[in-house]
């Protein structure tokens, strides 16, 4: 179980996230929605320890708050970052192997990631920097899975991808849902798609949780108002 | 025939230059900083060797690896205790720190050893040579070139084929995201600085077998190392090898034409490369 309580995040003097709390049970997916600059990536960064934080992050009872980023990764937090952040001088296979470097055991290895994204097996020896955006997104997700994470953080999954490629990536993510105990946080521009592929949602506005609930019971009108910061009618 | 010999001598000298450049290029490639103390690490390695042979007169084949390992430790310690603390978005603090370290190490060497010039006695094969179809080639420079090529091949193998090498390349590509792979980049940086110090020290010791050095020789070595990576280019270790060999050959030819020219022809080559091909002979053109 992932428990985030009263989490704040800072970039230097800039306060990016205010008092965000939520809990996620094994196997569940949380969609994080919000406008640009609402603090979605900051939330993921705060869970990874990539930004300065205040508040608490607990994973299966273990307090991660004072752990370094590498230590959190070893505890089972994996990130597919915004902008995909390929190791451009490494081949696709080498990128995936970097993901396995945390040394966690589990179902994910080169062959199971290859089965999820067959194109990665085909392009295994290509430099990752030469792949298309969609293929790089698959490498980024595959690389995170290679860590056999307890918590998978997916940032901006379909940003900049052609609709048909975004569809393909989401189809692969749909296969992951419900098949394991892994908890997933997904940040996605396409709100309907994000809600369709998640159990819970959390809407951020200017770094604050303005609305949350069950994805299958969402009131889209209310969510739209929360998303854009209009006061409830 | 004399030109063939000049070419051979240039290549053998160039091997040594390449080794000076390699360590500097490695640091720049991974940490994106220029280590101004690189020359002092090379010269310091040679002075450490003087001390060791002064106490226990061991042959060069044992001395080289022993000092290399010691200097690896020193490089690791310097990085973790000092340089890691100033690494950030601003390239100036590490530049100033390594500049300070360079002066500090130089003065430390003067304090400990005095300003006299010294050299490492390579033993009987220092003067031995072999005859290659009418050309006489010194065994010592030949051994220097062989050691250099072995180190280049070993480093290339390590970087491209091992998990440690893959982690070094990944850290160079994106030092923030490797943390999400459980990698502490400060540890990787320290290991890389250790490697760089090791390579510098081997080059410094090999230099001291062919010429005499003083505690002030570091600055000139740093200049050579910079010229090697500017001429060869950044981005691969073969570029350093090429840069070193080209610089060595140019120096040898310059010496043959005009014995009083010193390093002049090398500097002219550097200038031409900067004007005509600033990314270096084998460097990758920056696309970003």
Q: What is the 3-state secondary structure (H, E, C) of A49-86?
A: CCCEEEEEEEECCEECCCCCHHHHHHHCEEEECCCCCC
Is residue A122 within 8 Å of residue A81, measured between CB atoms? no
Q: State percent of chain B over pLDDT 70.
A: 99
- Cα-flanking dihedrals φ and ψ of residue B210, to 5°? -105, -15
Please tell me the predicted confidence (pLDDT) of residue B122. Answer: 82
Q: Do A81 and B177 touch (CB under 8 A)?
A: yes
Q: What are the Cα distances from residue A96, in Å, to A24, A132, A186, B107, B181?
A: 27, 16, 20, 48, 10
Question: How do A29-34 and A200-205 pair as beta strands?
Answer: parallel
Q: What is the DSSP letter of A38?
A: S
Q: What is the DSSP letter of B83?
A: I
Please tell me the predicted confidence (pLDDT) of residue A69. Answer: 96
Q: Which residue of B has its CA nearest to A48?
A: B180
Say yes or no: B85 contacts chain A, CB-CB below 8 A: no
B39 is written with which tokens? 């020359």
Q: Cα separation of A202 and A21, whole Å? A: 10
- Cα-flanking dihedrals φ and ψ of residue A38, to 5°? -80, -10
**Tens-digit pLDDT profile for residues B162-183:** 999 999 999 999 999 999 999 9
Question: Which residues of A are less than 8 Å from B168 in CB distance?
Answer: none
The answer for B117, left when phi > 0, alpha when psi is -120 to 50, beta otherwise, is: beta
Cα-to-chain-centroid distance, residue A221: 25
Q: Do A89 and B173 touch (CB under 8 A)?
A: yes
Is residue B21 within 8 Å of residue B154, measured between CB atoms? no
Tell whether the model's pLDDT for residue A215 goes beyond 80: yes
Say yes or no: B161 contacts chain A, CB-CB below 8 A: no
Rounded to a whole number, what is the largest CA-CA distance in chain A? 56
DSSP 3-state of B119: coil
Distance between terminal CA atoms of chain A? 36
Q: Do B181 and A85 touch (CB under 8 A)?
A: no
Find, among B203, B170, B241, the residue nearest to B71 by Cα. Answer: B203
Predicted confidence band of residue B288 (pLDDT cuts 50, 70, 90): very low
B207 is written with which tokens? 């230099």
Q: State percent of chain B over pLDDT 90.
A: 77
Statement: the pTM of the whole predicted model exceeds 0.90: yes
Q: Cα separation of B137 and B9, whole Å? A: 8
Please tell me the predicted confidence (pLDDT) of residue B286. Answer: 57
Predicted confidence band of residue A231 (pLDDT cuts 50, 70, 90): low
- Cα-flanking dihedrals φ and ψ of residue B262, to 5°? 60, -130
Tell whether the model's pLDDT for residue A232 goes beyond 70: no
Is residue B207 within 8 Å of residue B148, measured between CB atoms? no
Average pLDDT, chain B: 92
Predicted confidence band of residue B236 (pLDDT cuts 50, 70, 90): confident
Q: Do A90 and B182 touch (CB under 8 A)?
A: no
Q: What is the DSSP letter of A190?
A: -
The residues that bridge with A20 in the sheet, in sequence order, are: A7
Over residues A200-208, the mean pLDDT reads: 95
Question: Which residues of B are less than 8 Å from A98 in CB distance?
Answer: 166-167, 170, 178, 181
Q: Do B179 and A89 touch (CB under 8 A)?
A: no
Q: Which of B182, B186, B189, B239 to mutate to test the interface with A (most CBs of A within 10 A)?
A: B182
B247 is written with which tokens? 């610089």
Q: Do A68 and B184 touch (CB under 8 A)?
A: yes
Residue carrying the six token digits 């460097």? B283
Q: Which residue of A has its CA nearest to B182?
A: A70
Instruction: Specify the length of chain A in residues.
Output: 233
Question: Which residues of B are less than 8 Å from A127 in CB distance?
Answer: none
Question: How do A2-11 and A52-59 pair as beta strands?
Answer: antiparallel
Q: What are the Cα distances from residue A119, in Å, to A97, A108, A122, A124?
A: 16, 16, 5, 8
Q: Cα separation of A89 and A67, whole Å? A: 29
Q: Cα separation of A152 and A47, whole Å? A: 11
What ipTM did this prediction achieve? 0.92
Q: Cα separation of B5 and B197, whole Å? A: 32
| Dihedral over alpha carbons B108, B20, B168, B37 (to 10 degrees) | 30
Tell whether the model's pLDDT for residue B285 goes beyond 70: no
B123 is written with which tokens? 């033993």
């Amino acid at each position: 179980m992932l428990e985030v309580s009263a989490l704040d995040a800072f970039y230097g003097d800039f306060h990016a996230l205010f008092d965000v709390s939520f809990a996620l049970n094994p196997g569940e997916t949380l969609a994080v929605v919000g406008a640009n600059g609402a603090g979605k990536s900051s939330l993921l960064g705060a869970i990874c320890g990539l930004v300065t934080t205040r508040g608490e992050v607990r994973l299966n009872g273990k307090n991660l708050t004072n752990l370094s980023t590498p230590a959190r990764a070893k505890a089972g937090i994996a990130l597919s970052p915004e902008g995909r952040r390929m190791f451009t001088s490494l081949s696709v296979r080498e990128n995936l192997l970097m993901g396995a470097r945390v040394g966690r055991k589990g179902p994910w290895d080169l062959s199971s990631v290859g089965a999820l994204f067959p194109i990665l097996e085909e392009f295994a020896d290509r430099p990752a920097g030469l792949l298309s955006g969609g293929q790089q997104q698959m490498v980024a997700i595959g690389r995170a899975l290679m860590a056999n994470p307890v918590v998978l953080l997916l940032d901006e999954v379909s940003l900049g991808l052609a609709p048909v490629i975004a569809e393909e990536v989401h189809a692969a993510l749909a296969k992951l849902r419900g098949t394991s105990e892994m908890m997933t946080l997904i940040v996605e521009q396409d709100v309907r798609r994000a809600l369709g592929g998640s159990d819970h949602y959390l809407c951020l506005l200017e770094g604050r949780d303005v609305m949350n609930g069950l994805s299958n019971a969402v009131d889209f009108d209310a969510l739209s108002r929360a998303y854009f910061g209009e006061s409830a009618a | 025939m004399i030109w063939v010999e000049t070419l051979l001598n240039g290549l053998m000298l160039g091997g040594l230059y390449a080794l000076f450049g390699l360590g500097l290029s490695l640091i720049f490639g991974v940490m994106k900083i220029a280590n101004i103390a690189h020359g002092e690490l090379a010269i310091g390695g040679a002075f450490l060797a003087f001390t060791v042979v002064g106490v226990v007169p061991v042959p060069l084949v044992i001395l080289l690896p022993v000092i290399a390992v010691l200097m690896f430790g020193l490089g690791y310690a310097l990085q973790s205790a000092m340089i890691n603390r100033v690494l950030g978005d601003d390239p100036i603090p590490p530049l100033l720190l390594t500049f300070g370290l360079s002066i500090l190490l130089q003065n430390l060497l003067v304090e400990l050893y005095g300003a006299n010039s010294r050299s490492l006695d390579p033993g009987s094969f220092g003067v031995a040579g072999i005859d290659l179809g009418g050309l006489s080639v010194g065994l010592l420079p030949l051994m220097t070139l062989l050691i250099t090529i072995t180190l280049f091949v070993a480093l290339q193998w390590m970087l491209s084929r091992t998990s440690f090498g893959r982690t070094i390349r990944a850290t160079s590509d994106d030092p923030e995201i490797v943390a999400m792979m459980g990698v502490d980049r400060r540890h990787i940086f320290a290991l890389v600085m250790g490697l760089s110090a090791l390579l510098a020290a081997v080059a410094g010791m090999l230099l001291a077998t062919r010429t005499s050095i003083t505690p002030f020789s570091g600055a000139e070595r740093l200049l050579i190392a910079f010229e090697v990576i500017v001429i060869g280019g950044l981005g691969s270790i073969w570029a350093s090898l090429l840069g070193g060999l080209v610089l060595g050959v140019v120096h040898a030819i310059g010496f043959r034409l005009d014995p009083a020219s010193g390093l002049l022809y090398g500097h002219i080559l550097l200038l031409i490369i900067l004007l005509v091909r600033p990314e270096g002979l084998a460097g990758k053109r920056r696309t970003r």
